[in-house]
Amino acid sequence: MEGLAGVASGDARVLMSEDHDRRAAEMRLVRAAQQGDLLAFERLYRDNERKVFGLCFRLSSDPALAEELTQEVFVRAWRKLGSFRGESAFSSWLYPLTLNVARSERRSRGRRDARIVATEDPERLERTPRAPAPEAGFDLEKAIATLPKGARAVFVLHDVEGRTHEEIAAMLSIAPGTSKAQLFRARRLLREALVS
Amino acid sequence: MTCHELDERLDDWVDGALTGAEALAVESHLAGCAQCRGRERQLRQLLAHAAALPRGVAPPRDLWPGIAERIERGSFWSALAASWHPLVLAAAAAVVLGLSMLLWNGSGPEAVRTVAMPGTSPSLRPVTVTGIADPVLAAAARDYEAAATALLEALQRRRAALPPEDLARVEANLEVIDRALEEVRQALVKDPASPELNRMLVATHRKKVDVLRRVVRLSTAL
């Protein structure tokens, strides 16, 4: 007789099979897009737009800039698609690309200060897309948007996206100790916002 | 352990990064300090909140049309650049090299006629050249001129559809070709019988037509 362990094992096999099928379908789309099929690339975009936009939005705390960054990510992804070999999921391949776009945007544009000032405008934050807050009275998305950019990036990557300090250090070209210090700062500021 | 010391270690504690004596010290302090327990609870609440945020956020509008437009325009320019620049460089190099040799023994100037298309910018005007001695080459040059004129007219009709910066690039590159044609033409009026110059003129016309054909075909695909 099949026990609970057997049922669980069967469920795991089904999940692995579904994941394999999904990756295979994704790779077919990638190969078609690599051959110049824009419709296939649009499918890849539709499958990943929310993740990329979510990360861009949280890193920039500016919905209009997040739209530009998201578009830039996918334009660059199209150009670099030939280098994608399918060793990882397409979304994993997009992740460092998204961070690079967000970082290069911050470096290259002189409007950074204007963005920070704009973020402090409460009406602007009212217009931002946000996830529903699980706790009434505290909007975490809004509070994240008020963090200094370095602390915000580390908090988003560590506590929202679940990355380790070593991964963050490599992705942001900083020391792991700097990542920890920025996380400490971000959490401190958010805790203050939580009680205020 | 003081409350301040605990506060310094609270992040590591909730992240499960403390072990051994440090972990025991934190645990012991928390057991006897309601204020620090409150801080710990608050931090765990914040982290649970953050972990519960959805990874994805829907963009407020459909971003795909803008992406597709940039990709298609990029493809247009990369396709153009792949075919165009070698042609322009080859034409310019051939003209400079050929002229530097041929003008060593230059002769007197002759009349040159240039016909402008009304309402077009200078770089999009067709250029008509006279003075080719070889009748076969002269006929070929006329054919290329006619083709270039037709393609320029087609490009004129596409002007409004082309982004201004792209149109500026087309014009700038056509000017390079026209300058090359002008160089050959100036050399021809000095030495109209030169077979090298005659062939060079026809070859440069052919390159211009090739480039124009690609521009018009690719701009139609925009």
Asked whether the beta carbons of A131 and B54 are under 8 A apart, the reply is: yes
Number of cross-chain residue pairs from A and B with Cβ atoms under 8 Å apart: 100
Interface contact flag, B59 A41, Cβ < 8 Å: no
pLDDT at B93: 52
Please name the CATH architecture into which domain A135-196 falls: Orthogonal Bundle (1.10)
Choose the most confident range, by mean pLDDT, from A115-124, B76-85, B108-117: B76-85
> With b meaning 16 or more CB within 10 Å and e meaning fewer, what string describes B117-147?
eeebeebbbbbbbebbeeeebbebbeebbeb
Q: Is residue B59 part of a domain?
A: no
**Residue type for position B26:** V
pLDDT digits (tens, 9 = 90+) for B160-218: 766 676 677 777 777 877 888 888 888 888 877 777 787 788 777 777 777 777 666 66
Chain A residues touching chain B at CB-CB below 8 Å: 36, 38, 41-42, 45-46, 49-51, 53-55, 57-58, 63, 66-67, 70-71, 74-75, 78-79, 129-131, 133-135, 138, 140-141, 155, 159-162, 180, 183-184, 187, 190-191, 194-195
Interface contact flag, B51 A162, Cβ < 8 Å: yes
- What average pLDDT score do residues B133-142 get? 72
DSSP, collapsed to helix, strand or coil, labels residue B115 as: coil
**Residue type for position A149:** K
Residues B48 and B73 in one domain: no
Number of residues that make up chain A: 196
Whole domain around residue B145: which residue ranges?
64-220
Nearest to B42 among A71, A75, A194 (CB): A194
B183: number of Cβ within 10 Å: 19
CA–CA dist B12, B16 (Å, integer): 6
- Å between B38 CA and nearest CA of chain A: 11
Residues B125 and B34 in one domain: no
Of residues B109 and B175, the one with the higher pLDDT is B175
pLDDT band at B77 (very low <50, low <70, confident <90, very high): low
- Å between B29 CA and nearest CA of chain A: 20
Q: Which residues of A touch B39 (CB under 8 A)?
A: 191
pLDDT at B159: 73
Residues B124 and B158 in one domain: yes
Residues B206 and B114 in one domain: yes
Residues B73 and B121 in one domain: yes
pLDDT at A14: 64
Check pLDDT > 50 for residue B15: yes
Check pLDDT > 80 for residue B37: yes
Nearest to A54 among B47, B57, B67 (CB): B57
Q: Is residue B57 part of a domain?
A: no
pLDDT at A98: 94
Q: Is residue B34 part of a domain?
A: yes
Nearest to B64 among A42, A131, A194 (CB): A42
Of B20-34, B115-129, B189-203, least confident by mean pLDDT is: B115-129
Q: Choosing among B7, B11, B67, which should be mutated to test the A contact, i.e. which has the most A CBs within 10 A? A: B67
pLDDT at B148: 78
Residues B89 and B192 in one domain: yes
Q: Which residues of B touch A51 (CB under 8 A)?
A: 55-56
Residues B35 and B94 in one domain: no
Give the position of tokens 């049922």: A7
Q: Is residue B188 part of a domain?
A: yes
Of residues B146 and B111, the one with the higher pLDDT is B146
pLDDT at B29: 92
pLDDT at B191: 79
Residues B114 and B195 in one domain: yes
pLDDT band at B109 (very low <50, low <70, confident <90, very high): very low
Q: What is the DSSP string of A92-132?
A: HHHHHHHHHHHHHHHHH-TTHHHHHHHHT-HHHHHTS--PP
CA–CA dist A57, B109 (Å, integer): 67
Q: Is residue B58 part of a domain?
A: no
pLDDT at A15: 63
Where do the structural domains in chain A lie, given as residue ranges? 135-196
The total domain count for chain B is: 2
- A43 token code pair: 């499918």
Which residue does chain B place closest to A136, by CA atoms?
Answer: B49
Tens-digit pLDDT profile for chain A (196 aa)? 556 666 666 666 666 677 777 888 899 999 999 998 999 999 999 999 999 999 999 998 888 999 999 999 999 999 999 999 888 899 999 999 999 998 877 655 544 444 433 343 434 434 444 444 444 446 888 899 999 989 999 999 999 999 999 999 998 889 999 999 999 999 999 998 887 7
- What average pLDDT score do residues B112-128 get? 41
Residues B21 and B72 in one domain: no
